[in-house]
Chains A and B, each alone.
Chain A
Amino acid sequence: MKLNANIPSGPLVEKWTRHKHEVRLVSPANKRKYDIIVVGTGLAGASAAASLAELGYNVKSFCVQDSPRRAHSVAAQGGINAAKNYRNDGDNVYRLFYDTLKGGDFRAREANVYRLAEVSVNVIDQAVAQGVPFAREYSGYLATRSFGGAQVSRTFYARGQTGQQLLLGAYQALSHQISLGTVKMFPRQEMLELIIVNGHAKGIVVRDLISGKISSVMADAVVLASGGYTNVFCLCTSGGASNVTAAWRAHRKGALFANPCFTQIHPTCIPVSGDYQSKLTLMSESLRNDGRVWVPKNAKDKRPPQDIPDGERDYYLERIYPTYGNLVPRDIASRAAKRVCDEGRGVGVTGLGVYLDFRDAIARFGEKVVKERYGNLFEMYREITAEDAYKTPMRIYPAIHYAMGGLWVDYNLMSNLPGLFVVGEANFADHGANRLGASALMQGLSDGYFILPYTIGDYLARNGVKRPSADAAEAKQAEQETAQRLNKLLSIHGKRTPVEFHKQLGKILWENCGMARQEAGLKTAIQQIAALRDEFWQNVIVPGSHQDLNMALERAGRVADFLELGELICLDALTRAESCGCHFRTEFQTPEGECLRNDADYAYVAAWEFGGVGKPSQLHKEPLVYEEAHMAQRSYK
Chain B
Amino acid sequence: MKVTVRVWRQKNPQSLGGFVEYEVKDVSPATSFLEMLDVLNEQLIKQSKEPVHFDSDCREGICGMCSCMINGEAHGPENKVTTCQTYMRSFKDGDVITVEPFRAKAFPLVKDLVVDRSAFDRIIQAGGFISVTAGSAPEANTVPLSKYHSDLAMDAAACIGCGACVAACKNASANLFVAAKVAHLNLLPQGAPEKDPRVLAMVEAMTKEGFGACSVSGSCEAVCPKGIVTSFISRMNHDFLTAALKLRVHSARV
Q: A: which residues have CB within 8 A of B?
A: 47, 50-51, 54, 65-70, 72, 74-75, 84, 86, 122, 124-131, 133-142, 158-159, 161, 164-165, 168, 171-173, 175-176, 178-179, 185, 187, 210, 239-241, 273-274, 276-279, 281-282, 380, 383-384, 386, 449-450, 453, 493, 495, 497, 499-500, 541-544, 548-552
Chain B residue nearest to A210 (CB atoms) is B110
Distance (Å) between the CB of B199 and the closest chain A CB? 15
Interface membership of B28, Cβ < 8 A: yes
Given contacts A164-B62, A276-B31, A544-B50, contact A125 B137 (CB under 8 A): yes
Those 6 A-B pairs whose CB atoms lie nearest each other, nearest first: A140-B144, A129-B137, A172-B129, A133-B154, A125-B137, A239-B57
Distance (Å) between the CB of A296 and the closest chain B CB? 24
On chain A, the residues within 8 Å of B254 by CB distance are none
Given contacts A67-B117, A140-B147, A497-B46, contact A75 B138 (CB under 8 A): no
**Which of B204-221 touch A at CB < 8 Å?**
none
Distance (Å) between the CB of A80 and the closest chain B CB? 12
On chain B, the residues within 8 Å of A129 by CB distance are 130, 132, 136-138, 140, 190
Interface string of B120-132 (1 = CB under 8 A from A): 1100111011111
Determine whether the beta carbon of B184 is less than 8 Å from that of A239: no
Determine whether the beta carbon of B147 is less than 8 Å from that of A131: no
On chain A, the residues within 8 Å of B151 by CB distance are 133
Interface string of B63-87 (1 = CB under 8 A from A): 1110000000000001001000101
CA distance A239 to B143 in the complex (A): 36
Determine whether the beta carbon of A69 is less than 8 Å from that of B30: no
Determine whether the beta carbon of B35 is less than 8 Å from that of A277: yes
Name A126's contact: one of B38, B59, B126, B137 (CB within 8 Å). B137
On chain A, the residues within 8 Å of B133 by CB distance are 51, 54, 173
Determine whether the beta carbon of B42 is less than 8 Å from that of A497: yes
Given contacts A128-B140, A175-B129, A384-B85, contact A161 B147 (CB under 8 A): no
Determine whether the beta carbon of A172 is less than 8 Å from that of B137: no
Residue picked from A124, A135, A383, most chain B C-beta under 10 Å = A383
Determine whether the beta carbon of B138 is less than 8 Å from that of A125: yes
Chain A residue nearest to B39 (CB atoms) is A276
Name B124's contact: one of A126, A172, A239, A384 (CB within 8 Å). A172
Determine whether the beta carbon of B184 is less than 8 Å from that of A133: yes
Chain B residue nearest to A551 (CB atoms) is B53
Chain B residue nearest to A379 (CB atoms) is B80
Determine whether the beta carbon of A131 is less than 8 Å from that of B144: no
Distance (Å) between the CB of A128 and the closest chain B CB? 4
Interface membership of B157, Cβ < 8 A: yes
Given contacts A72-B63, A274-B28, contact A131 B57 (CB under 8 A): no
On chain A, the residues within 8 Å of B128 by CB distance are 172, 175
Distance (Å) between the CB of A432 and the closest chain B CB? 27
CA distance A43 to B149 in the complex (A): 26
Determine whether the beta carbon of A122 is less than 8 Å from that of B190: no
Distance (Å) between the CB of B24 and the closest chain A CB? 11
Determine whether the beta carbon of A241 is less than 8 Å from that of B190: no
Given contacts A66-B117, A140-B147, contact A175 B125 (CB under 8 A): yes
Given contacts A384-B85, A493-B48, contact A278 B34 (CB under 8 A): yes
Interface membership of B101, Cβ < 8 A: no
On chain A, the residues within 8 Å of B44 by CB distance are 543
Main secondary structure on chain B at its contact with chain A? Answer: loop
On chain A, the residues within 8 Å of B132 by CB distance are 126, 129-130, 173
Residue picked from A66, A126, A450, most chain B C-beta under 10 Å = A66
CA distance A67 to B159 in the complex (A): 14
CA distance A548 to B114 in the complex (A): 13
Chain B contributes a number of interface residues (CB within 8 A of A) equal to 80
Given contacts A75-B58, A84-B140, A276-B28, contact A175 B121 (CB under 8 A): yes
Given contacts A54-B134, A66-B117, A278-B34, contact A549 B139 (CB under 8 A): no
Determine whether the beta carbon of A126 is less than 8 Å from that of B134: yes
Given contacts A128-B137, A171-B124, A179-B125, 20 further A-B contacts (CB under 8 A): A65-B57, A67-B64, A67-B118, A72-B57, A84-B141, A122-B135, A124-B140, A125-B139, A126-B132, A130-B190, A140-B144, A141-B141, A165-B157, A173-B134, A187-B121, A239-B57, A273-B30, A380-B61, A543-B50, A549-B114
CA distance A12 to B188 in the complex (A): 38
CA distance A122 to B135 in the complex (A): 8
Interface membership of B45, Cβ < 8 A: yes
Interface membership of B234, Cβ < 8 A: no
Name B134's contact: one of A67, A172, A453, A541 (CB within 8 Å). A453
CA distance A618 to B137 in the complex (A): 45
Distance (Å) between the CB of B195 and the closest chain A CB? 12
CA distance A394 to B231 in the complex (A): 35
On chain B, the residues within 8 Å of A168 by CB distance are 157
Determine whether the beta carbon of A131 is less than 8 Å from that of B188: yes
CA distance A185 to B173 in the complex (A): 25
CA distance A135 to B137 in the complex (A): 19
CA distance A552 to B53 in the complex (A): 9
Interface membership of B5, Cβ < 8 A: no
On chain B, the residues within 8 Å of A185 by CB distance are 121
Determine whether the beta carbon of A176 is less than 8 Å from that of B131: yes
CA distance A140 to B30 in the complex (A): 43
On chain B, the residues within 8 Å of A159 by CB distance are 154, 158
Given contacts A65-B65, A141-B144, contact A383 B85 (CB under 8 A): yes
Name B31's contact: one of A67, A240, A274, A543 (CB within 8 Å). A274
Given contacts A159-B154, A493-B48, A543-B49, contact A187 B60 (CB under 8 A): no
Given contacts A69-B161, A383-B61, contact A140 B53 (CB under 8 A): no
Distance (Å) between the CB of A516 and the closest chain B CB? 27
Chosen A-B contacts, 9 in total, with CB atoms closer than 8 Å, are A84-B141, A125-B137, A128-B190, A133-B184, A142-B140, A276-B31, A276-B36, A383-B85, A541-B46
On chain A, the residues within 8 Å of B117 by CB distance are 66-67
CA distance A542 to B120 in the complex (A): 33
On chain A, the residues within 8 Å of B190 by CB distance are 128-131
Given contacts A130-B132, A133-B153, A277-B35, contact A541 B121 (CB under 8 A): no
On chain B, the residues within 8 Å of A67 by CB distance are 64, 117-118, 120-121, 161
Given contacts A67-B161, A499-B38, contact A549 B110 (CB under 8 A): yes
CA distance A140 to B61 in the complex (A): 30
Determine whether the beta carbon of A449 is less than 8 Å from that of B57: no
Interface membership of B116, Cβ < 8 A: yes
